[in-house]
Chains A and B, each alone.
Chain A
C-alpha cells in the first residue's frame, strides 16, 4: 500500500469527522457573546471611572471626609491577622478570590478581574475555605468516570503543594476547614449518612460530630401517623474564630432550618426556617452575621436570629469579602463580585463554575468560598 497526499488528506478528514461535538445551543453562544460585549464596555467605562475616581479620591482625602460613614450598607469589621505564616504556593494570592471551573482551581485578584487568573491546583474542584493563616485550602474534588458515575471527596491543599484527601462520598460534599487549619467538618447529604462529620486536616477516621433530630414526613399518608425521616445537612461552615458552626438541615424541596451550634456539636439552635431550596451559607468576618441564599433571594441575619434582611444581590451562593464591603455570588454559572448593596456587579470568571465536563446529572455545587483571608499586599483591597 502506498500513501499519497490525497490519502493523507482523506484520513485527516476522517479523523476530524470522528469528533462528536457535545450538545451546544447557539443561543448560549449568543448569551456568552452578549456578556463579552457588556464586559468590554465595562472595562472601557471602568478605565474612565478609575481616572475620575483618582481625582475624586484625591479631593476627598484632602477634604478629610470619611467615606465609610456614608456607606448605606452596614459592614462587618475585618478580623486582623496576628502573624504571617509561610504561605508557600499561596504566597502570590493573598486577598485574592479562588474558584473552580472544571479544569482547575484558579485565583484572581478581585481588584483586577480582567487579568489572567493564576492556577492554584489542576483538575476539577471547588474551593470551600481557607485556614485563617492562608496556608491550607479545603477543596471538594470530583473524578468523572462516565455518564453516570463519579467519585467525590474532600481534600486539603497545603502550602507546600501537597494535597491530602480527607473524605470520600457518593455525591458532592460540603464542608469547611477550621480557622487553625487542624481539622475539617463536612456533610454528605445524599449518602444516607446524615449529619456533620469531623476529620483531621491531615486525614484520619471521620467522626460524627452532630446528627440533627429527625423530622416528620410533611406529606403523610391519610389517617396515618407521619413517618420520621432523617434531616439532611448542608453547608456546614466554621465561624471565623472556630468556636461555632453554622449549617442548614432539612430536605430537598421541603424547606430548611438555618442552625448554629458550638464547634463540639452541642448547643444547636435554629435561627431561621427557610421555605424551598437554599444555596450557600457564609459567615461575616466579624462572626456576628451570616449570609445565605434561597429561592427568594440573598439574605443576611444576625447569629442571634435578629435582623433578617433581604440583600439586593442578583444571584446565589453568596459570600462576603473579608471587610464586608463586597459580596461574591454566582449567577448563570459565573462568579460575580458586587458591592454589598448589589451594585457594580463585575463578572470574575469566564469559564462556567462547577465540574466542567461532568454530565448534568453529576453536576454538583458551583459555589465558591474562596476569599483568601490574608490582606492584599501593596494596595488596598
Chain B
C-alpha cells in the first residue's frame, strides 16, 4: 500500500473523530475544519515516520493539538468565548438545552483543562497517554481533569440547580 492509499484509508476512518476533537478544543466548526486540514497535511508530510512508529493515532492527535495551539497563538484568531450559548455557531446543532449548557461549560474551561478533559474523556486516553500527548506530567493531568470535571458540575448545577455528586474518576 503506497503512502497516498494508506493515508486516505486512515483519514476516511478517523477524520470525523479528529474533527470533533478539534471542535471541542476550539469551539468553532469552521476553525475546527482549518485545524484538521492543517493537522492532516502535517500528518501526510510525516507519514513515513508516523507509520513506522506504529502509533499513527498519537501522531494525529498531537498534530491536532499543535495546529490548535498555532491558531490560538495567532492574535487575530485568538479564541473569544461566547457570552451566551446562542452566540456559538455550533450550539445550534445540539438537540437539548441540557447539551447546550454542557457545551457552554466546556467552552468556558481554561484551555489546559479543556485539552485534558477532551483527551481523557472524549478520546478515552489514559492519564499516561494524555500526559505524553500534551507534554505534561501525569500529576498535572490528574489535577486538571479533577478541576475540569468540578467546573463542569458547577456550571450544570448553576444552570439547573441540580444536586451534584463528585465521582471517583479523575
Cβ 8 A contact of A16, one of B24, B36, B44, B156: B24
Contacts of B33 in A (CB 8 A): 21-22, 24
Contacts of B157 in A (CB 8 A): 3
A14, B32: Cα distance in complex, Å: 18
A103, B31: Cα distance in complex, Å: 9
Q: Shortest distance in angstroms between A221's beta carbon and chain B's nearest beta carbon? A: 47
A29, B23: Cα distance in complex, Å: 18
Evaluate contact between B167 and A12: CB separation under 8 angstroms: no
Question: CB of A116 within 8 A of chain B?
Answer: yes
Closest residue of chain A to B101, judged by CB? A11
- Known contacts A2-B163, A29-B15: does B121 contact A9 (CB below 8 Å)? yes
Cβ 8 A contact of B42, one of A1, A3, A19, A36: A36
Contacts of B74 in A (CB 8 A): 116
Q: Shortest distance in angstroms between A108's beta carbon and chain B's nearest beta carbon? A: 13
Contacts of A40 in B (CB 8 A): 45
Cβ 8 A contact of B106, one of A6, A15, A37, A122: A15
Contacts of B20 in A (CB 8 A): 16-17, 19, 21
Chain A proximity mask over B45-87: 1 for CB below 8 Å, otherwise 0: 1010000000000000000000000000011110000000000
Q: Shortest distance in angstroms between A121's beta carbon and chain B's nearest beta carbon? A: 10
Closest residue of chain B to A352, judged by CB? B37
Mark out the residues of chain A between 107 and 136 whose CB falls within 8 Å of any chain B CB in the assembled complex.
116, 119, 122
Mark out the residues of chain B between 88 and 113 whose CB falls within 8 Å of any chain A CB in the assembled complex.
90, 93-95, 98-99, 102-103, 106
The main secondary structure of chain B at its interface with chain A is helix
Evaluate contact between B102 and A33: CB separation under 8 angstroms: no
What's the count of A-B pairs with C-beta under 8 Å? 136
A33, B46: Cα distance in complex, Å: 9
Cβ 8 A contact of B19, one of A19, A27, A34: A19
A22, B90: Cα distance in complex, Å: 12
A4, B47: Cα distance in complex, Å: 40
Chain A: interface residue count, which band? 35 or more
Question: CB of B140 within 8 A of chain A?
Answer: no
Contacts of B125 in A (CB 8 A): none
Question: CB of A306 within 8 A of chain B?
Answer: no
Question: CB of A350 within 8 A of chain B?
Answer: yes
- Known contacts A15-B106, A21-B16: does B93 contact A33 (CB below 8 Å)? no
Evaluate contact between A30 and B4: CB separation under 8 angstroms: yes
Contacts of B9 in A (CB 8 A): 26
Evaluate contact between A21 and B15: CB separation under 8 angstroms: yes
Most B CB within 10 A of own CB, among A1, A4, A26, A351: A26
Contacts of A18 in B (CB 8 A): 90, 93-95, 99, 103
Q: Shortest distance in angstroms between B138's beta carbon and chain A's nearest beta carbon? A: 18
Evaluate contact between A26 and B149: CB separation under 8 angstroms: no
Q: Which 4 A-B pairs have the closest CB atoms?
A: A33-B44, A5-B167, A119-B76, A26-B11
Task: List 30 contacting pairs A-B, 8 Å CB cutoff, sorted by A.
Answer: A2-B165, A3-B157, A4-B167, A12-B102, A14-B99, A15-B99, A15-B102, A15-B103, A16-B21, A19-B19, A19-B90, A21-B19, A21-B20, A22-B33, A24-B15, A26-B8, A27-B8, A29-B8, A29-B37, A30-B4, A30-B8, A32-B41, A33-B7, A33-B40, A33-B45, A34-B44, A36-B44, A37-B44, A119-B76, A122-B76
Q: Which residues of A contact B (CB under 8 A)?
A: 1-6, 8-9, 11-22, 24, 26-27, 29-30, 32-37, 40, 103-104, 116, 119, 122, 350-351, 356-357
